[in-house]
Amino acid sequence: MSGAVLTITSLKKSVPGGRVLFEDLNLGLQAGEFVAIMGESGVGKSTLLNLIAGLDQADDGTIAINGVDLAGLGDDARTLLRRDHIGFVFQAFHILPHLTLGQNVALPLVLQQAPGDEALARAREMMEAVGLGGRAEDYPRQLSGGELQRVAIARALVHRPGLLLADEPTGNLDPETATRVLKVFADQVRRSGAAAVLVTHSEVAAAVADRTLTLTGAGLVERHGR
Amino acid sequence: MAARGVSLAARWMILGEWRAHPMRVVTAGVAIAIGVALGLAVHLINASALSEFSRAVSTVNGDAELQVRSVAPAGFDERLYPRLARLPGVGVASPVVELKAMTARPGEQITVLGLDVLRAAAVTPSLIGRPVTADGEGAHGPTNDAPFDEDAIYLSEGALEGRAIGQPIVLTAGGRTATFRIAGVAPGIGEGRKVAVLDIAAAQWRLGEIGRLQRIDLKLAEGVDEGRMRQAIAAALPAEAQLVTRDSEARRSDSLSRAYRVNLDMLALMALLTGGFLVYSAQSLSVARRRPQFALLRVLGVRRQALLAQVLVEGISVGLAGGLAGLALGFGLARGALALLGGDLGGGYFGDARPELVFSPTAAIIFLVLGLLTAVVGSLAPAREAARAQPAVALKNAGDAVDPRVSPPIWPALVLLVAGGAAALAPAIGGIPLLGYASMALLLAGGVAAMPWIARMLLGPVRRLSLRWAAVDLAFKRLWGAPSQAAVALCGIVASTSLMVAMAVMVSSFRGSVDDWLQQLLPADLYMRVDAAGAGGGFDPKAQAALAATPGVARIVFQKTTSLMLAADQPPLAVVVRPMNGHDRPPMIGGPLEPPAGETPIWVSEPAAWLYGWKPGQRIVLPIRGAQRFFVAGVWRDYSRQHGAVSLDATDYTRLTGDHWRTEASVDVVEGNSPKQVTEALRARLPADIAPRVTFAEPATLRAFALQIFDRSFAVTYGLEAIAILVGLAGVAATVSAQTLARTKEFGMLRHLGVTQRQVVAMLITEGALLGAVGVVAGIGLGLIMSQVLLHVVNPQSFHWTMETKLPWVLLASVALALVASAAGTALLAGRRALSADAVRAVREDW
């Protein structure tokens, strides 16, 4: 075992019309490593995240999480791997409206068979960490966009995943709120020790990562001069 | 262990969903509850009524192992008794005279049993009377000869009500009136039964039954083979007598109302089926709305099977809650209906008996399971859709799962419709149109399965319209652009509308046909009949001549109706005796045949032709005073006797039986006389003994009365129809409201684009009305097809009569309007609620 959390080798993906999004894409991430991926619209940034999460199938190449090749796994096994090892933050928050904030955050733990009260206790800890202490019993409709995204960050990290994937986490937020959320995000990623991939259009957002890569048709290219 | 975590998450999800949208869950649960309640109630009422009826039959029959019964009320020759008594293997034979008698109390009818006490003591001891003195003490002792006293009569508790021991009681039976003394009680006869027991010789002598018996109760010798004995006894019987067993009695009481009961059961199950469609509709909408939520769960690590299980658990919970509520409701409904309508729910099969409700845990469990199954089946397709969704796509909330450009498949619907059509052509199974009902269910499923395709066809033209009114244009485009949502909404509307239309057309056709038939059947100006004709007597030839000579009477035609038991396990066949020349005949189906010279013609009713397989031109043998051969000269329409009737010309009947007595008459009055005047004149000429029992009626009154009976018989059907309409309206309301509320984000976006609130509301009303209209058009079309199965398959196979289609235009139009208005109105109300949300916030919400 190399110790890498994420290893992508010679990855190729086309869209249904036949257009190649990218090919020969390679990436390796160690625990605690935080990269941002930038690129033009339609270049396949979100598709890459879906491939890493096992939600989509590559045309060629391999993706390994903690040394486990996704291509060799069935739907159930990929689902379990996602449940145990990956955390997600979306642009559109995706907070379930009919669950309390505490339940929303605790959901990944509950899915990992943690007892309900323990899961909720850990969820409250995470909410405290993202600045939403004492609001576990509130419902999502009582929160602003920035607050909802902080709930999503808490949910993504509550089960201590080895890999965190974030797709435009500040895309729906105003700059001021976005800055605050990014700070929370970066702090929590670093505190958790997880590897993280942040897909974004925003230079400001990308700046919180350790390094920035640009996605092109030829794969990922390191950006310098930050 | 992993399952525990998933189940906790699923519990959170399910409870959260229900908390957020309680009305949707309640509507689906109520639909299941109604179906279960109706099914259980109809079943409990039928079971209670049958059990009561069987008790009543066994009360009068005693505990005889076997019985020989006369096929007609006139009985058989008593010389059969010694022949049977001497038959090897017969232990004891007990001869019985069984008559219906009238008392002096208006309308009171009593079953009179004439017994040979010494024989009955060995065969049917429960029927024997016990002497009681006037002070209420039992009279015992060897010197007591009361049982053989020709004046002594023993009354059951029900018959004794309001009478005292020692008092006289006047009975009229077989045209004779005799006075008896109440000598005691018949304690073995069940509560509420009106039975009088007396010595057989007294019954024969004093009530004009000399030499005749109506039955012989038999006890077999120990150790004999009952099957072989049955054959031996049956071989010894004349045509006027038949062997009856406890089993055949049970089958007879069952077949009396079986078709009616099965029909009601099936209607109740149809209500449950509608409930299933509403569950499907509610679950589909819920799944469509939650598609991104399910996608999120998949991203978070929930497996497909867990999502499938979650939606199924939701359905099971709705089914369980609805089913349990349905059981309670059904029990209450059964109790109320028994009290209000009686055991036959107004069908008129079991007289005025008010049976006790018998709760059946097995039936309750079966209906609960049926409710659960309905909910599970209704949830299955949405659950599979939830589990199959691609998370990456669903997370982006790509909208309708169906591409509007792709034409939905029609072949599954066609397969179901063709199977439904084929099932309609199949014959009844065990006298029950099971495949007819299967045909209706298949047609319903096929119609609903065809909805996406039909919706596309009906909505296709409106898509191409380019309207200046933006709101309406948007409404048209949206309905076409979200075909699966439109189809789901239409599914519930179509299911309930089509069932309602099918039932309404059936009832309207039946009622219309009965009305037409009554008009043809009642051409005279006046009708008269002797009430409780079963008690015998009526108009003898002298009375007939006197009545015919009454001033104001242009023509009087006398008639009699008696009965004939052709099979031990079938209800008796009615024998209508009347002149059968030309216009005196009842309405015929097809032309009558001329009988060959020397043959006796008989005309059979449509149900009789169906039940016994009789055809015009055929020769049949009937036990009318010995086996008689008849030529079937035609088939007549009869909506009043489901178990069949034959018409015999009065002259032939008298020639064969020597019976001149008649019990009914139709009168044409001389022009210028009013029926009322003639009624008075006829009444004045009636013999004194029957005058109080004769009733007169004009045809309009009889028709109104007959239709009133019809309406009472169909009261439950009307009730089920009303429930179908209400369930349909509730389904429309729930579906449209759910779809509208799920579009808050879309309305917010439209408001951002400058669409006014009024325009959004107008768009919603148009959408709702259009959806309702498409549903109503498809539902009425499907309902009309299903009604043809009811009219031409289910009805003839159940009740053995045919009828013409008569459409209830006013009802159809009203229901169509109500459904369209309900869809539009609900869309308006839900739209206002959805619009009350902040537009800015709405567009920022995820779902």
Contacts of B844 in chain A (CB under 8 A): 145, 172
A108 to chain B, any CB pair closer than 8 A? The answer is yes
- Amino acid letter at B674? S
Residue B678 to residue A66: CA distance in whole angstroms: 107
- Highest mean pLDDT of the ranges B179-193, B319-333, B369-383, B796-810: B319-333
pLDDT, average across residues A135-140: 88
Q: Residues near A172 by Cβ (< 8 Å), separated by ≥ 6? A: A91, A92, A93, A145, A149, B844
Cβ atoms of B364 and B300 within 8 Å: the answer is: no
Q: How many Cα atoms are found within 13 Å in the side-chain-facing hemisphere of B494?
A: 29
Question: pLDDT: is B197 or B103 the higher one?
Answer: B197
Q: What is the mean pLDDT of residues B406-427?
A: 89
**Residue-averaged pLDDT of chain B:** 80
Contacts of B28 (CB under 8 A, 6+ apart): B275, B278, B279, B282, B283, B318, B322, B375, B378, B734
Q: What percent of chain A has pLDDT over 90?
A: 35
Nearest by CB to residue B9, choosing from A79, A95, A110, is A110
- Residues B663-705: tens digit of each pLDDT: 889 999 998 888 899 999 999 988 877 787 788 888 888 888 8
Nearest-CB residue to B17 (from A56, A98, A113): A98
What pLDDT score does B845 carry? 43
Q: Which residue in A94, A103, A111 is closest to B6 by CB distance?
A: A111
Single-letter amino acid, residue B840: V
Model confidence at B341, in pLDDT bands (50, 70, 90)?
A: low
Measured CA angle at B499 (ends B493, B503), to 5 deg = 145
**pLDDT score at B601:** 93
Higher pLDDT, B234 or B359: B234
Closest C-alpha to A34, from A157, A158, A150, A193:
A193
pLDDT of B347 > 70? The answer is no
Chain B residues with CB inside 8 Å of A97's CB? 20, 845-847
Average pLDDT, chain A: 87
C-alpha–C-alpha distance, residues B49 and B334, integer Å: 11
Q: What is the per-residue pLDDT for B847?
A: 36
d(CA A73, nearest CA chain B) in Å: 14
Lowest pLDDT segment from A28-42, B207-221, B297-311, B396-410: B396-410
**pLDDT at residue number B402:** 54
Pairing of strands A211-216, A60-65: unpaired
Q: Tell me, what's the ipTM?
A: 0.75
- How many Å apart are CA A131 and CA A134, to the nearest integer? 9
Residues of B in contact with A109 (CB under 8 A): 5
**Nearest-CA distance B456 → chain A (Å):** 27
Lowest mean pLDDT, pick from A2-6, B7-11, B55-59, B126-130: B55-59
B787-831 confidence digits (pLDDT tens): 999 889 988 887 788 888 999 999 889 888 988 888 888 878 877
Per-residue pLDDT at B751: 66
Residue closest to B448 by CA, chosen among B785, B703, B813, B118 = B785
Rounded-to-5 percentages of helix, strand, coil across chain A:
40, 25, 35
CB contact under 8 A, A83 and B302: yes
CB contact under 8 A, B303 and A94: no
Which whole-number Å values give the CA distances from B617 to B54, B122, B577, B637, B717, in the listed order? 39, 49, 20, 17, 38
Which among A80, A93, A97 is the nearest to B301, CB-wise?
A80
Would the CB atoms of B303 and A79 count as touching at under 8 Å? yes
Min Cα–Cα distance to chain B from A87, Å? 8
pLDDT tens-digit profile of A15-36? 877 888 999 999 999 999 999 9
Closest CA to A132 of A112, A151, A110, A158: A151
Query: Rounded to an integer, what distance in angstroms lies between the CA atom of residue B351 and that of residue B676?
Result: 31
Nearest partner of A47 among A58, A36, A38, judged by Cα? A58
Whole-angstrom CA distances from A186 to A104, A107, A147, B781 are 21, 22, 16, 63
- A111 in reach of chain B (CB within 8 A): yes
Q: What is the mean pLDDT of residues B317-341?
A: 86
CA pair distance B304, B320, nearest whole angstrom: 24
A98/B19 CB distance under 8 A: yes
For residue B123, is pLDDT > 50? yes
Distance between CA B444 and CA B4 in Å, rounded? 40
Query: Which residues of B are less than 8 Å from A95 in CB distance?
Result: 846
pLDDT band at B416 (very low <50, low <70, confident <90, very high): very high
Strands B176-185 and B130-131: antiparallel
Q: Which among A72, A58, A135 is positioned nearest to A101, based on CA atoms? A: A135
For B3, the closest chain A residue by CA position comes to A113
In order of B72, B485, B741, B821, the CA distances from B737 in angstroms are 63, 13, 6, 13
- In this prediction, residues B361-371 reach a mean pLDDT of 88
Tens digit of each residue's pLDDT (9 = 90 or more) over B583-634: 778 888 887 788 898 899 999 999 899 888 899 999 999 988 888 899 999 9
Interchain pair A96, B300: CB under 8 A: no
User: Considering only CA atoms, which of B43, B254, B42 is closest in space to residue B716?
Assistant: B42
Mean pLDDT value of segment B17-21: 79
Q: What gap in Å lies between CA B751 and CA B759, rounded to an integer?
A: 10
What Rg value do the Cα atoms of chain A yield, rounded?
17
- Mean pLDDT, to the nearest integer, of B29-35? 82
In Å, how far is B291's CA from the nearest CA of chain A?
Answer: 12
pTM score, two decimals?
0.68
Which of A212, A180, B9 is closest to A188 using CA atoms? A180
Query: What is the residue type of B818?
Result: A
